[in-house]
Structure 1
């Protein structure tokens, strides 16, 4: 009878946990930021009073307060950027005598907008005949992205950026073009997309080779629905495997039909270095030729405790406070613009003692909680990955979490809400190509349109052994662009 009661109690707690998680997903805040209560914050500075020593007395207090009339604040208008071009418009008074003398002027600046203009680039190349040898000469045609095509580099760049940076599917772009009296079929847009990705494929391969030369990578994966001819009426669930090299400022999206460990094994077959991932077991025991060191993500561990707050606020809050201290150390080092060696020493002095204390606390608490409860899962997950979680302290180049690579996935998540799925496995990989290049532009603070337009205009004449110069992290140096980090 006692066992049955315990089982019913456990089932009740489990259902309560599931209900709480469902409410949180539907109605709750998506922020993972933890804010301790006022009492806990006070305890950092003063000794906690014993509850038994406090005498409670009820006192009724009445008073009148005069509410001060609030002065109406005038709205503050933001200044108009000085770099924007100005079109001056002078308005003279309707009635002005010839003897009037100008004593000044009032200037009003208003932001205006003209829809993007589409124009035809007409290239005229006169032909000449050289009478001495009867030879006809003509000027060389500039490099065109699509030979014998009628789409220029600017238009192609606008279409690609609109879809993969601003998340506008081709059918919406088609409607926008129609409003500008230009009828471009969906088939034409798809053909231009295929031609553009074919032109960029060697650069994508160069990006992959350079990224794999980094000795520190962050990896994550994100699902994408794909139409599969073998599954009529159903979508196949494929995955974009995202790789981020923080030191080289490069991002690589790689599409695969599955989430099998064979995917990272194939890509990382010759890799030597450190990879940082979440707790997915597919990264453990990779059968590769190189030596790989694994780091875990503190943000993923923190999420488990954040979910356990409603069930066990005391234990969950304690762990979240300790993790909050670890992140405060990282923010301080970043604010000081510390070098990798300085950050390593700083972590050894301040982060390692917190981690050692937290490890002992977790090992003691895991014996006192139900394994399948929310707090039990949080502690179990964290202890299972503990060696990998604290390994970031051995090298100042490593990050405490995988958030940088997760940030590069956001454009994919936003685009997925708009175009819903890819038309084929091949189209998904072509999309991965553009996501890679545009994400690399973003972390290098480069305008993706300017970069792609320049690349499409020059890539065909660029030497194959110097293609790396067109990658975003090298391109801004080649062009002499001074971009602040």
Structure 2
């Protein structure tokens, strides 16, 4: 019997160890299944759900739970609420049309018809009945011949050995030896980089006008215009951007087919750098092959100040730069955590809503400070936003041990804690913004255009595209019509001293000396 008892003890210990091992494996598998389920729900949300990150205002009531749950006795109101419908205000149509050119067509009675049907007397013009409509004039293509006349002296031809020759002055062409005019190149650039029309569609569009211009010729026109003329404006904008002390940055992918020692499927990157809300709008794109830290370091060489970024580590270590985090990214993490949860996860759902409510309260404070001066915004943030940040940080530290690190909620909490130094940086200056949405809005036109033209053929073409996008997007933000502004640049730059920075400054998109026709009519300054 003693021998049997001794032999059974190792068996019990063995099975206990096996049970513990299986329990650990079960927990690991359950966590993995939960992660896959979260990813599936997030994928379904991104594919079929709403892209808006707006949340119910009632979620902010988590900070006012006592007031929200109390039921004080309220006397019945003696005031009756009356609702009514308000008529549409007059004059709105006239305001929309006041800056457009007007063509008037008068309709009169003939002399024979200006006779009274009652007494036969003459009729007089007593009033008018006016009807307004919008007339769209489609693009036209025509040939412009520049004929320069050469003059000589008849007397000298007959009596002297030498005859003076005088040639009439003619503006220098932007594209010598080419059919390309300033308006033709500006139109091609606008169609591709503003309207998102690829060159093959532009080629077909021109054929319907009776003009056959291959897409390769259109591409050469745009690259020549960008590298010869627009680069001068781009470099001047870059120099002035570096003089500011608060910028935004972002980056997105780009496919370039023909790059040395790289496959056609390799990912390249288009970087974006732009000014903040306190300065004139400047938007600059910069094409690079990789997402390495050396690219923003090179582009921002000489810049000192604040840089709004997302959580990408490539911006770390920039000299003389204070990084400002993006609360829109932090809020998005908690929104995704809510979307990834099953309906049965009540406790986790409450925790995710609590984190989201902290973010929403910060944005609610910013909405109230939208029209405040930088100094007033700075003071109000210290008074109202800083306590919220302190409470949020304490909540993050409290929740960290209680959530799975790889869950959506765990990632949201980890993101906020890792980015905390950047996220609280907006308190340091009233000119800083709480998010990096300004950069994301500026890079969106490139992302939308990429869906149409898909890729760049060469690295040289990608660099030209970066310069053209920089010019047209900066022009749009300054209230300019990109087509008219580009045409103006191609007309003026060949006929001026391009080494004179003072003259170049007069052509920048925010210059007060630009002609009125460069501005969008309803946004003219």
Fold conserved between structures, TM > 0.5:
yes
Partner of 1:211: 241
Q: Where in structure 2 are the equivalents of 1:136-155 lying within 5 Å? A: 136-155=165-184
Partner of 1:157: 186
Partner SS for 1:459: helix
Residue 187 of structure 1 and its aligned partner are, at CA, apart by 2.2
Unaligned runs of 5+ in 1: 51-70
**Higher-helix-fraction structure:** 2
Q: Where in structure 2 are the equivalents of 1:380-399 lying within 5 Å? A: 380-399=414-433
| Aligned mates of 2:66, 2:202 — CA distance in 1 | 59
Partner of 1:298: 327
Partner of 2:8: none
Residue 40 of structure 1 and its aligned partner are, at CA, apart by 4.5
| Aligned mates of 1:39, 1:134 — CA distance in 2 | 89
Closer/same/farther in 2, CA of residues 156 and 230 from structure 1, 3 Å limit: closer
Cα shift readout 1:384-423 (whole Å, capped 9, x = no counterpart): 1111101111111111111111111111011100000001
Q: Does 1:82 align with 2:82?
A: no
| Aligned mates of 2:465, 2:170 — CA distance in 1 | 30
Residue 314 of structure 1 and its aligned partner are, at CA, apart by 1.2
Partner of 1:325: 361
Partner of 1:25: 46
Per mean C-alpha deviation after superposition, the further-off stretch among 325-334 and 294-303 is 325-334
Give yes or no for contact 1:226–1:237 (8 Å, CA) kept in 2.
yes
Choose from 248, 256, 267 the match for 1:237.
267
Cα shift readout 1:304-362 (whole Å, capped 9, x = no counterpart): 11100132321222222222221222222223xx2222211111111111111111111
| Aligned mates of 1:14, 1:172 — CA distance in 2 | 45
Give the total of aligned pairs.
457
Residue 369 of structure 1 and its aligned partner are, at CA, apart by 0.7
Choose from 285, 289, 296 the match for 1:264.
296
| Aligned mates of 2:351, 2:39 — CA distance in 1 | 19
Q: Where in structure 2 are the equivalents of 1:16-415 lying within 5 Å? A: 16-37=37-58, 40=61, 46-48=67-69, 79=93, 81-90=97-106, 96=113, 98-99=115-116, 101=123, 104-130=127-153, 131-132=155-156, 134-198=163-227, 199-228=229-258, 234-246=264-276, 247-286=279-318, 290-310=319-339, 311=341, 312-335=348-371, 338-415=372-449
Per mean C-alpha deviation after superposition, the further-off stretch among 417-426 and 452-461 is 452-461
Partner SS for 2:338: coil
Residue 44 of structure 1 and its aligned partner are, at CA, apart by 6.0
Give yes or no for contact 2:171–2:495 (8 Å, CA) kept in 1.
no
Cα shift readout 1:211-268 (whole Å, capped 9, x = no counterpart): 1222222111110111025579832211001001222421111100111112122223
| Aligned mates of 1:186, 1:42 — CA distance in 2 | 60
Residue 434 of structure 1 and its aligned partner are, at CA, apart by 0.7
In the superposition, the TM-score normalised over structure 1's length comes to 0.86
Unaligned runs of 5+ in 2: 1-21, 72-84, 118-122, 157-161, 342-347
| Aligned mates of 1:236, 1:89 — CA distance in 2 | 59
Q: Where in structure 2 are the equivalents of 1:427-466 lying within 5 Å? A: 427-463=461-497, 464-466=499-501
Partner SS for 1:240: strand
Give yes or no for contact 1:228–1:236 (8 Å, CA) kept in 2.
no
Closer/same/farther in 2, CA of residues 269 and 127 from structure 1, 3 Å limit: closer
| Aligned mates of 1:401, 1:437 — CA distance in 2 | 24
Per mean C-alpha deviation after superposition, the further-off stretch among 358-367 and 207-216 is 207-216
Give yes or no for contact 1:162–1:168 (8 Å, CA) kept in 2.
yes
Residue 103 of structure 1 and its aligned partner are, at CA, apart by 5.1
Residue 468 of structure 1 and its aligned partner are, at CA, apart by 3.0
| Aligned mates of 1:44, 1:334 — CA distance in 2 | 27
Partner SS for 2:474: helix
Residue 127 of structure 1 and its aligned partner are, at CA, apart by 2.1
| Aligned mates of 1:351, 1:452 — CA distance in 2 | 44
| Aligned mates of 1:107, 1:328 — CA distance in 2 | 48
| Aligned mates of 1:232, 1:218 — CA distance in 2 | 30
| Aligned mates of 2:93, 2:506 — CA distance in 1 | 38
Give yes or no for contact 1:214–1:248 (8 Å, CA) kept in 2.
no
Closer/same/farther in 2, CA of residues 404 and 178 from structure 1, 3 Å limit: same
Give yes or no for contact 1:242–1:409 (8 Å, CA) kept in 2.
yes
| Aligned mates of 1:291, 1:234 — CA distance in 2 | 37
Give yes or no for contact 1:36–1:321 (8 Å, CA) kept in 2.
no
| Aligned mates of 2:232, 2:182 — CA distance in 1 | 17
Give yes or no for contact 1:211–1:248 (8 Å, CA) kept in 2.
no
Residue 272 of structure 1 and its aligned partner are, at CA, apart by 2.2
Greater gyration radius: 2
